[in-house]
Amino acid sequence: MRKVVIPTQLTESKIPFFLACTLVITAGPVFVVFPQSPAAFFTFLVSLLVLYKMSIPVPLKLVGAVISLGIIMPSVGSENGYYMDVIIQVGIYVALAVGLNIVVGFAGLLDLGYVAFYAAGAYAYAIFATSQASNFIPAAWATFPVSGNWFWLFLLVGLVVGAITGVLLGFPVLRLRGDYLAIVTLGFGEIIRIVLNNLDKPINITNGPKGLTPIQPPALFGMDLSEPIHYYFIVLSIIILIIVVAKRLNASRIGRAWAAIREDELAARSMGINLLKMKLLAFASGASFAGVMGVVFAAKQTFIDPSSFSFMESIGILAMVILGGMGSVAGAVIGAVAVLVLQLQILKELSEYLGQLSAAGVLSIPSQLDPAKYERMIFGLILIAMCIFRPQGIIPAKRQLVRLRERVRDWRAKREGGEDVDPA
């Protein structure tokens, strides 16, 4: 089968290509030399994006990615713990955005309560990894908190809990039309939050608004993995897994069924697609990713309470998906990185800078104007602007048209060559 080269702007002229190469090659070492500089951090992130967009062979890209994410980032992280923390948070949201992208982007089901599944996973681990579970499980059966070795099993538990919650919610509501579904999932997200807030009586299960702490860190062969660098690699490996699964799902028969449902439910149904089953599958796979990430989040934070799982979070993740491009896995990754860098870096730096200016008496800016307080406004503007000006997002989803056409062409070529080939 011939390889289809998709022309990008980088191949059309040599100069940008060399610039891109220079950027990719120098960004990492520069970041290692200046681990404290935000500019170096941005350049590093941009170089990753450029690496992804460059038209070089895939193995080369992989080598670049392994060097950047496997060597440079951890070594910088040991110098500058703050960036390590930022990048772990970015990683968690990347995974969530890729998960939500399955539901919203692939299958076209607007889920406004995605964070509920995240909460389900987080609480599933937190309840058993603190002494909380002894409130309802007799000490004769098991003692709590469970040891950190159980973390790995709980990743699976989180997956299953997420999927089950997804199916439980999805089963009754997936028959509804799109916009109703949005409101019902929103309501469900709120229900979960309210229940978590109030389930400290009659039996104390979630410890209510006080939250759960201290949550056991993961352990491997008796060694506690509580350093940021451990979480970095845990998160990184889960992200890689999730991205591969999402990409494979999208390219499969299931992914094509989702696309059909997204474009036209009626047509999809008449082509023999089982709507409910496929929608449930999308819902459950998105939810299970959130469940897994919830477990990681709980372990990393060592403290969780219901306020981490508000509607605001769901909208934040939605903004990432919309910004990056609905239905595009790379878009979801880039959207998550962009939103979090904006939130954790740009806004923070800006408000510190303004604060310094006010302190120096150059400008008098009231503290109400502090840009870090206006995340909602920024999410809102992102959503409106993207809808109006670029509904397909930063990196639009590629249609599979190219590949199918190519298959037909191959088939024709073979048939004309006299071979007897099955078109399927």
Which residues would be at the binding site for other proteins (CB under 8 A)? 108, 110, 112, 172-173, 175-176, 178-180, 182-184, 186-188, 190-191, 194-195, 197-198, 201-202, 266, 311, 315, 318, 322, 366, 368-369, 373-377, 379-385, 387-388, 391
* Residue closer to other proteins, measured from CB, 195 or 243: 195
Q: How far apart are CA 397 and CA 410, in angstroms?
A: 24
Q: How far is the CB of 147 from other proteins (least distance, A)?
A: 33
CA-derived radius of gyration, the chain: 23
Token pair listed for 388: 């109006």
- Count CA atoms closer than 13 A to 277's CA, side-chain side: 7
- Of 147, 141, 124, 144, which is closest to residue 132 (Cα–Cα)? 144
- Least Å distance, CB 170 to other proteins, is 12
Q: How far is the CB of 376 from other proteins (least distance, A)?
A: 4
CA atoms within 13 A on the CB side of 184: 16
**Helix-helix angle 115-128:311-324, to 10 degrees:** 130
CB of 115 to other proteins, least distance (A): 14
Which CB, 74 or 396, lies closer to other proteins? 396
Query: Smallest gap, in angstroms, from Cβ of residue 276 to other proteins?
Result: 13
**Number of C-beta neighbours around residue 166 at 10 A:** 28
Q: What is the DSSP string of 255-299?
A: HHHHHHHHH-HHHHHHTT--HHHHHHHHHHHHHHHHHHHHHHHHH
**CA–CA distance, 394 with 163 (Å, rounded to integer):** 29
The candidate with the shortest Cα–Cα distance to 120, out of 309, 319, 321, is: 309
Query: Could you tell me the smallest distance in angstroms from the CB atom of residue 249 to other proteins?
Result: 21
Token pair recorded at residue 256: 């094509």
**Which residue's CB is nearer to other proteins, number 229 or number 365?**
365
- 146 backbone φψ class: left, alpha, beta (φ>0; ψ -120 to 50): beta
Looking at the Cβ atoms of 114 and 125, the one nearer to other proteins is: 114
Q: List CB contacts of 96: < 8 A, sequence separation 6 or more.
A: 114, 118, 289, 290, 293, 317, 320, 336
Considering the complex, state which of residue 143 and residue 367 has its C-beta at the smaller distance from other proteins: 367
Q: Name the residue nearer to other proteins (CB basis): 223 or 384.
A: 384
| Nearest to other proteins of 9, 198 (CB atom) | 198
State which residue, 90 or 322, has the beta carbon closest to other proteins.
Answer: 322
